[in-house]
Amino acid sequence: MFILDNKGRQPLHDKIYNQIKNQILSGQLPPATKLLSIKNLSAELSVSRNTVEYAYQQLYAEGYIHSKPRSGYYVSLIDPEFLPSSFSHIGMTPRKVSEDRIVYSFDFHPACLSSESFPTNLWRKLYIESLQEDSEQLAFYSDQQGDFALRSEIQRYLAHSRGVSCDPEQIVICSGLQDSLSIIAPILKENHSTFAVEDPGHFMPKAVFRNHSFAINPIPVNSEGLDLESLQKTNSTVVYVTPSHQFPLGYVMPVANRLKLIDWAETVGGVIIEDDYDSELRYHGRPIPALQGLHPGANIVYVGTFSKVLSPALRVSYMVLPYRLLTIYRKLFSDYSTNVSLLDQRTLNKFMEKGNWERHLRKMRTIYKRKHDELIQSIHHHFGSKANIIGQGAGLHVVLELVGNSLTEGELINRARDRDVQLLPISGMYFNNTGRDPQIMLGFGRMSSNEIDRGIGLLYQAWNL
């Protein structure tokens, strides 16, 4: 029911837009409700069709409604961020709109790569070659564990650049961390029920293992990474760690601790899941070899990805299973198919085989090192002693700790957004969120030199430090 007043300076189409928007937000128009047709609503309101169409276009562009061909417009599910709490009675949990959809002038989101990260021209060439050579193979289901030639390339790369010791037969090509973990969880389920994770830590391992009915044990992180004493006090027998670059704090686990962690696993019959997600990107000092290489016979699952240096939208990663778990994998997963396109695997194989992967790595390391160093310099310049930098020297982000600041994370992020600066909250990665100075993740992958310095300057202003 529409009531259109003719007062006020607001254009008619804005009034219609606002009224429908409010009815959607308040739950008066629940998701999947069909809107009146443009023709009917314009007749009802005695306005031109263009006016109604303009309002609908606006609602459509903002995601409040969507169209079904030959049917009309319908109310969409709405992002909870935009919903008043009164909407919750409808019983829908609307979808998290992925944050990369909103374009900010200064984007410090840590999961964004440089626009140079994807070698478009070379990929095109190699993909076309694969399409030519392997199109016969597209009529069949491909190898469930992944293309053997690609696995051999990955084995070679891991051996000489990460110190990982394995056989191509131990490698499973996956479509990202969620895929690897969704395979690991059922494999471990038989003998394990409690899963230890870093606190703060990556959100995904918790989600996957929870979906496989594991109890989750958060283990605090200190400047040497996962706190081993805390781990030993729990009843967990499976642990997810990021020893070479703790996510999100960036700490490195020293070798002595790595050996202790392996000892722990041997003692309790435990399993270590080592996520080496961005260890290629180390800008100062020597690269830190993987934990797995210290004791290849131990129950360590090594997980790596192409998402941080090539593209997170390509969905290719890999894991290395110790032989004991490989046996269970082959028992439980023999009826599964791979999640990864054969053409992408073949293209990637060509990319690695011809040395392009390592060349690309060197190139990206140089690009990101420059951005990283500029970011550090800019933070020192603008913030001086008002902020500490945590986890510098590697990866695609650092963590900024604001000394003695009393703004909440929400306030920090909102003030930044008001100046067109995008930040990802870190609090969701903590189980225990109290008793620390506010922290902000600063991803630099996407930013130009100029943007980095201007963005940091804007943050300093926005926060009135």
Q: Binders of a copy of itself among 155-184, rule CB under 8 A?
A: 155-156, 159, 167-169, 175-179, 182
Q: Binders of a copy of itself among 139-158, rule CB under 8 A?
A: 139-145, 148, 152, 155-156
Decide: is 212 part of the binding site for a copy of itself (CB under 8 A): yes
CB of 273 to a copy of itself, least distance (A): 16
Nearer to a copy of itself, 210 or 381 (CB): 210
Nearer to a copy of itself, 49 or 156 (CB): 156
Strand order in the sheet with 194-199: 171-174, 317-320, 300-305, 271-275, 238-241, 194-199, 215-222, 225-226
312 closest CA partner among 169, 168, 114: 114
314: phi then psi, degrees, rounded to nearest 5: -80, -30
Footprint of a copy of itself on residues 6-35 (CB under 8 A)? 31-32
How many residues sit close enough to a copy of itself to count as binding (CB under 8 A)?
95
Contact assessment for residue 389 and residue 400, using Cβ atoms and an 8 Å cutoff: yes
Site mask for a copy of itself (CB under 8 A), range 46-85, x = bound: --------------------xxxx----x-xx--------
Tokens of 245: 């670059």
What tokens were used for 278? Answer: 């961005």
Cα-Cα-Cα-Cα torsion 181, 186, 190, 193, nearest 10 degrees, comes to 50
Phi–psi pair at 124, nearest 5 degrees: -55, -50
333 binds a copy of itself (CB under 8 A): yes
CB 99, min distance to a copy of itself, A: 9
Q: Which of residues 83-112 bind a copy of itself (CB under 8 A)?
A: 91-96, 98, 100, 111-112
439-443 β-sheet, strand order: 387-390, 397-402, 439-443
Nearer to a copy of itself, 316 or 459 (CB): 316
Residue appearing with tokens 């396109």? 341
> Judged by CB under 8 A, does residue 427 bind a copy of itself?
no
Output 123 or 463, the one with its CB closest to a copy of itself: 123
Q: Which of residues 214-233 bind a copy of itself (CB under 8 A)?
A: none
Complex with a copy of itself: residue 212 or 419, whichever CB lies closer: 212
Question: Rounded to an integer, what distance in angstroms lies between the CA atom of residue 22 and that of residue 34?
Answer: 16
Given the rule CB under 8 A, which of 53-61, 137-145, 279-287, 450-458 is the region that contacts a copy of itself?
137-145
* 142 vs 345: CA distance, rounded Å: 10
Q: How far apart are CB 37 and a copy of itself at their closest, in Å?
A: 18
**Nearest distance in Å: CB 465, a copy of itself:** 30
- Nearer to a copy of itself (CB atom), residue 355 or residue 435: 355
Tokens 């703060």 found at: 200
Rounded to 5 degrees, φ, ψ at 356 are -70, -35
Residue of 313, 404, 406, 450 that binds a copy of itself (CB under 8 A): 313
Residue 87 is encoded by which pair of tokens? 């909407």
> Among residues 26, 40, 232, 327, which is the contact residue for a copy of itself, using CB under 8 A?
327
| CA atoms in the 13 A half-sphere facing the CB of 419 | 21
The residue range among 241-249, 271-279, 322-330, 436-444 that interacts with a copy of itself, by the rule CB under 8 A, is: 322-330
383 within 8 A of 68, measured Cβ to Cβ: no
Q: What are the b/e assignments for 344-381, b being 16+ CB within 10 Å?
A: bbbbbbbbbeeebbeebbeebbeebbebbbbbbebbee
In eight-state DSSP terms, residue 105 is: S
| CB of 419 vs a copy of itself, minimal distance in Å | 22
CB of 396 to a copy of itself, least distance (A): 11
Question: Which of these segments, 8-16, 38-46, 304-312, 436-444, binds a copy of itself (CB under 8 A)?
Answer: 304-312
Which residues between 335 and 374 bind a copy of itself (CB under 8 A)? Answer: 335-344
Using CB under 8 A as the binding rule, whether residue 208 contacts a copy of itself is answered as yes
As beta bridge partners, residue 194 has 215
Residue 5 or 335 with smaller CB distance to a copy of itself: 335
**Segment 233-272, which members bind a copy of itself (CB under 8 A)?**
none
For residue 197, the SS3 value is strand
